[in-house]
Structure formats: C-alpha cells, structure tokens
Amino acid sequence: MTTPPHLLLVDDDERLRKAAVKVLTAEGYQVTGAALGAEALERLTDPDLALVISDLRLPDLDGLALLKKARELLPDVEVVMITGHGSVEQAVEAMRCGAYDFIQKPLDSAALLKTVSKALEKQRLLSENRRLRRQLNQRRGVEALLGDSPAMQSVKALIRQIAPTEVNVLIQGESGTGKEVAADALHSLSDRRQRPLVKISCAAIPETLLESELFGHERGAFTGAAAAKPGKFELAEGGTLLLDEIAEMSPQLQAKLLRVLQDGRFQRLGGTREIQGNVRLLCATHADLPNAIAAGTFRHDLYYRINTVQLVLPPLRERRDDIGLLAGNFLGRFAASMGKPVCAIAPHAMEQLLAHTWPGNVRELEHVIQRAVALVEGGTITSFGFAPEVPGGGVGHGPGLSDHAGISIPLGTTLDDAMQRLVQATVDRCAGNKLKAARLLGIAPRTMYRHFSNPEK
Ligand SMILES: Nc1ncnc2c1ncn2[C@@H]1O[C@H](COP(=O)(O)OP(=O)(O)OP(=O)(O)O)[C@@H](O)[C@H]1O
Ligand SMILES: [Mg+2]
C-alpha cells in the first residue's frame, strides 16, 4: 500500500483521544480525531478511510448509529468500538451490527495497536477482494458476448471504447444477434455500473401505457392510477436506460422522448414537478430505422439524438467462424444444467450447424443445442433438428410451418389458456423471436407481448 491507511478516532474524552491519536500516528497511520458524532459523520466522505475507532457512547450520537452509517457509506471500512467498563452487552450488540472488535477503557497502547493492525489486515483483504470481483464483472461484461470472428472482435473493441463515455448508443442487428447482451456489456463497463440498468421494450407495452411506464405518473393521473408511480427514467437515475424495440414507439411518444432528450427534463403524467434526469440512453432495434424514416414512421431528429454511436451486431451467417465456439459453449452450459454427460458434437452434426443459415441467429443456435441436449442419449450429439423457417422473417424466407406442426388443446381449456399456449408454441417455433411470431399470428407485437407474464423481458 503506497499511502498509509486513513483512521478516524472518535471519542469525546480529550485526553484519551489525544493519547490514542499520538500512539497511532507514531506507528505510521494517518489519524484524524473527532470529539463528536456529527464531526465523525462529516469524515465519512473520505474514500481512503479504512478504519473507524469510536466510543460507544458519544454526547450527540449513539456509537451504533455511527457504526451503521459508516458501513452504509463506505462498504470497505472496518469499525472498532471503544467501550467502558460493564458495557459488554452493548459491545456484543456492536459486533452483531458489523463492528470488527471492541477495546475496553482504559486504553492500553499495545492492545490498541494489535486490534488496529488486525482490523486493517481484514479491511485490506476484503477491499482487495471486492476490487478483484469488480474487475472480473467488468471483464465478464464483454466476455458474455461470445465470438472471436473479426466481426465480433471489432464489436467488442467498440463496446470497450464507448462504454465509459456518456454517448447514446443505437444497437442494431437482426433478432437474436445479442443486442441485449451488448447493452448489458455497455452498462457493466461504464462508470454507471453501480447504478441500475433498466430495460423496457417499446413493443411489449400497450401504447397507452408506455408513456406512463417511461415517465411515471402521479396518483389519479388517469383511471386506474390509484397510486403514484415512478417511471423507468426515474428508476434508471444515475444509471442506464435501454429502450428496446425503439422502432415500435408511436410518433406522439417519439416527439415527447425527443423533448426529454433535448433538455434532460420531464414530468410524471398528471404531475407538475419538473424532474431533471441523469440517465444514459441505449436504444435497440432490429428494424432498419433509415427505412422507417423514409416511410414516415420514425422521426429523423430523434434518430440523430439516439444514434450518437451505432453498434451493429452481425448476423450469425456472416460470422460462421463463431458457430463452433458458440455451440461448444451452449453444449457445456445445457449439459451441466440438465445434468447430462454430453460432451461432444459428431463431425456430421457440426457440418449441419455450419451449413444452416440461422435466421434466428444466436438465439436459434442456443435453442437448437438446448433441444439436442435434452433429447440425446449418450455422450455425443449425432444430428440436429431445425425448426422450419417461418415466412416474413427478414432473412431466408422459408416454406412456412410444416403442415404437421401443431399443438393439441383438450376440450375444457379456457380460451385464454388456449391462446396462451398457441402464442407460446408459435414463439417456440420461431426460435424465441416474438416479433416474427406476432407476424405469423397476424397480431400486433404489443398484443402478443401481453400474453407473456413479464412484458419487460
Ligand atoms: N455473442 C453471444 N454470445 C453468447 N450468447 C449470445 C450472444 N448473442 C446472443 N446470445 C444469446 O442469444 C439470446 C438472444 O440474445 P439477445 O436477447 O441479446 O438478442 P437480441 O438481439 O436482443 O434479439 P431480439 O431482437 O429478438 O430482442 C440470448 O439468450 C443471449 O444470451
Ligand atoms: Mg432484444
């Protein structure tokens, strides 16, 4: 450690405080003394503070309250309590609340130094541990996005470059290419990673509700608004907001979003208070927004606002080098979670994977491997089954659902349940692509999303 650890010694007994500060300073620690709890609380903003040594009884504050505040504000800090004679019960209570140890009055210099040194050692190990875990999380941020092909390497390099900045990013790519995984990586590599990443799908929420979901509402703002509710912009305060399926947003709401992005301020529905937001915006879509602008369904001024940097995820068929790596990874993951000893893909089966066009991209590959692992007997997968392609999928329009594909619904099933099952089966058949499934069912995407219990994904 290059700088000596910062210590805070809190006791209203001036003689004791001065003596203890002297002993600790002589040992090389950087010590600040405080006589009152209020003074001590002010010192809790020091990010280098490693240890608080405090009297359990302070004139203006309960020592336990100081202990709790210190642990809350500085998770890496340790606390040692100083107790008078006969306050063992309180000392035990302090340890239950997270104090490292306690020392009894009158203070003995050798005992003080020994306890401080042990507390600092624990503090050093714990904070080092947290630092390493943070680093690991950051690395995981991009590593969750599997793929070593040159195309994926450039995607990852761009993510690393733009994540720590504040720019709005438009994430584009066909369905199943990993747009949400990329959004997770952008957030976890940013300085906002300790704050929330809030996601909302503009296709999943009925248009009439989307505005209040985004900006919140006050009580009584509309029929059914029994209580006030913060919107996603408020929930993401200090963090990141992912607006997924942004192309599905209505023109009215696009206009409103544009105004919010211009001055960073918004109001809850039915409210009068202006809220100044601090949110980094990520938008994702599989749609071709320039086309949508030409067709008049997407505002070009909003497009320029959300698109400071564009991150394009390549379709799987354009990076076939990644298929083996992805397949191997999914195989390991599903074999472990299903408790099956599957460990290999036969060469012929691997050729099948390499020859497939992957209209559902990585999500489809994930489903194909999952199904194969569930069905295989023995340690090797010898062939894969692919769901027939579905028309209107953007790429590789196939022959449509096979005549034999279907679900059986026993009489007595409620209409709601039957619809739910049909929607689920169609989504499964579309390799999880809900928009494609909605097209096939002939319903608007948001109508279909309503059939899913968690509309926000
Ligand atoms: N590069 C990748 N490495 C590992 N897993 C991936 C990768 N890309 C996608 N996946 C997995 O594929 C599935 C689909 O990814 P994701 O939800 O991010 O796709 P998407 O582009 O947002 O699709 P949609 O447009 O349909 O919402 C997820 O289970 C995700 O974990
Ligand atoms: Mg997505």
CATH number reported for the structural domain that contains residue 360 in this entry: 1.10.8.60
Residues 6+ apart with CB under 8 A from 441: 422, 423, 426, 448
305 and 337: one domain? no
End-to-end CA distance of the chain: 45
CA distance 37 to 68: 12
Would 392 be classed as within a structural domain?
Answer: no
Q: Please, which residues bridge with residue 9 across strands?
A: 33, 53
Judgement on whether residues 307 and 336 belong to the same structural domain of the protein:
no
Instruction: Check if the beta carbon of residue 334 is closer than 8 Å to that of residue 369.
Output: yes
Percent of the chain exceeding pLDDT 90 equals: 64
Claim to verify: residue 163 and residue 263 sit in the same structural domain: yes
Same domain, 263 and 203: yes
**Domain end marker among 312, 334, 352:** 312
Asked which of 90, 108, 135 is the last residue of a domain, the reply is 135
Q: Tell me the average pLDDT across 296-301.
A: 96
Tell me what pLDDT residue 141 has: 74
Does 355 lie in the same domain as 294? no
Ligand number nearest CA of 181 is 1
Residues 6+ apart with CB under 8 A from 206: 446, 450
The predicted model gives 427-441 an average pLDDT of 80
The whole-angstrom separation of Cα 80 and Cα 100 is 6
CA-nearest residue, atom 26 of ligand 1: 175
| Residues within 6 Å of ligand 1 by CB | 145-147, 173, 175-181, 286, 362-363, 366, 433
Distance between Cα 359 and ligand 1 center (Å): 13
Pocket test for ligand 1, best of 149, 171, 180 (most atoms within 8 A of CB): 180
Residues 358 and 445 in one domain: no
Residue 456 banded pLDDT, cuts 50, 70, 90:
very low
Pairing between β-strand 216-217 and β-strand 229-230 as defined by DSSP bridges: antiparallel
**Do 187 and 330 belong together in one domain?**
no
Q: Where are the beta strands (DSSP E) in 147-306?
A: 169-172, 197-201, 216-217, 229-230, 240-244, 265-266, 275-276, 280-285
Q: What is the DSSP secondary structure assignment for residue 314, as one 8-state letter?
A: P
Do residues 203 and 307 share a domain?
yes
pLDDT digits (tens, 9 = 90+) for 98-133: 999 999 999 999 999 999 999 999 999 888 887 777
Question: Do 166 and 231 share a structural domain?
Answer: yes
pLDDT band at 397 (very low <50, low <70, confident <90, very high): very low
Looking at every residue in the chain, the average pLDDT score rounds to: 88
Same domain, residue pair 112 and 172: no
Number of domains in the chain: 4
- State the residue range of the domain holding 229: 141-312
Last-in-domain residue among 114, 135, 156 = 135
Looking at the domain assignment, is residue 284 inside a domain? yes
Q: Do 295 and 147 belong together in one domain?
A: yes
Q: Do 87 and 111 belong to one domain?
A: yes
Provide the total of helices (H) and of strands (E) in the chain, helices listed first: 18, 16
Closest CA to 432 of 343, 379, 342, 370: 370
Does position 419 have pLDDT exceeding 90, yes or no? no
Instruction: Please choose from 177, 187, 326, 370 the residue to mutate so as to test ligand 1's pocket, defined by most ligand atoms within 8 A of CB.
Output: 177
Give the pLDDT mean for 403-413. 66
Q: How far apart are CA 189 and CA 194, in angstroms?
A: 10
Q: In this predicted structure, what is the pLDDT of residue 452?
A: 61
Per residue, what are the HEC states of 354-418?
A: HHCCCCCHHHHHHHHHHHHHHHCCCCEECCCCCCCCCCCCCCCCCCCCCCCCCCCCCCCCCHHHH
Is 390 contained in some domain? Answer: no
Q: Which two tokens stand for residue 438?
A: 């909605």
Report which bound ligand comes closest to the CA of 286. 1
Whole-model pTM?
A: 0.63
- Which of 166-180, 276-290, 354-368, 379-393 has the weakest average pLDDT? 379-393
